Amino acid sequence: MINGPQEAALFGGSFDPPHLGHRKIIEDLIYELKIPQVIVVPAWLNPFKEHSHASPEQRLEWCRQVFDLPGVVVSDFEIRQGRPVYTVETWTALKRSYPLKYLVIGSDNLPTLREWKDFETLDKEAVWIVATRAGNTPDLSFLRRAILLPVEVPVSSTRIRRGEGLEYVDPRIREEVIQTYQLKKERM
């Protein structure tokens, strides 16, 4: 029997780097959707990517700093594996310790979602929460159960790595992000 919250959401990603848009998603999960626990899992390496820009350990530490909210657990599960881990592996493993019900993804994952390893298993077991840019209404009809979560933060990790939108990087990690990605401060 699992003690504690009766429902939890799994929010995985590269978080390369984590930004205030990610934090806003987590806040909305907790305060708007009333999900009592959010498990944040930085990837060692996304199975669909060839590399990450910051080290897995750096991204894990940044997530711990940026997502320090009540009800949030930052898990090192995927990083401890030392290899790309499929979402279904993480879901299955963490279900043993947490009452996972929701799986949080960005709408940018929708075009390739059916290509994910064991997508059918995830679709059967999880309620999808699809975070999307405000004003964007993607087609979720192919998912069994899905909730659309509009987010009002116009930023992406890709833009930040290009030196754009640095104001959306948490001040506690901003200097490290600038150094890690070798960005110029004047673009902020």
Residue written as tokens 């309620």? 127
Please report whether residue 169 resides in a domain: no
pTM: 0.91
Contact 187, 162 (CB under 8 A): no
pLDDT at 2: 42
Please report whether residue 52 resides in a domain: yes
Please report whether residue 85 resides in a domain: yes
pLDDT at 14: 94
pLDDT at 130: 97
pLDDT band per the 50, 70, 90 thresholds, residue 99: very high
Please report whether residue 91 resides in a domain: yes
Task: Give backbone dihedrals phi and psi of 62, rounded to 5 degrees, phi first.
Answer: -60, -45
Please report whether residue 105 resides in a domain: yes
CATH of the domain at 38: 3.40.50.620
**Mean pLDDT in residue range 147-175:** 92
Expressed as residue numbers, the domain containing 68 is 8-155
**Residue 188 confidence (pLDDT) above 60:** no
**Residue 133 confidence (pLDDT) above 90:** no
* Tally of domains in the chain: 1
pLDDT at 3: 46
pLDDT band per the 50, 70, 90 thresholds, residue 51: confident
Please report whether residue 187 resides in a domain: no
- Inter-axis angle of helices 56-66 and 20-27, to 10 degrees? 50
Please report whether residue 180 resides in a domain: no
pLDDT at 185: 56
pLDDT band per the 50, 70, 90 thresholds, residue 5: low
Amino acid at 65: Q
pLDDT digits (tens, 9 = 90+) for 141-156: 999 999 999 998 788 8
Determine the Cα–Cα distance for residues 70 and 92; give it in Å rounded to an integer: 24
Please report whether residue 140 resides in a domain: yes
Please state, rounded to an integer, the average pLDDT across all residues of the chain.
91
pLDDT band per the 50, 70, 90 thresholds, residue 53: confident
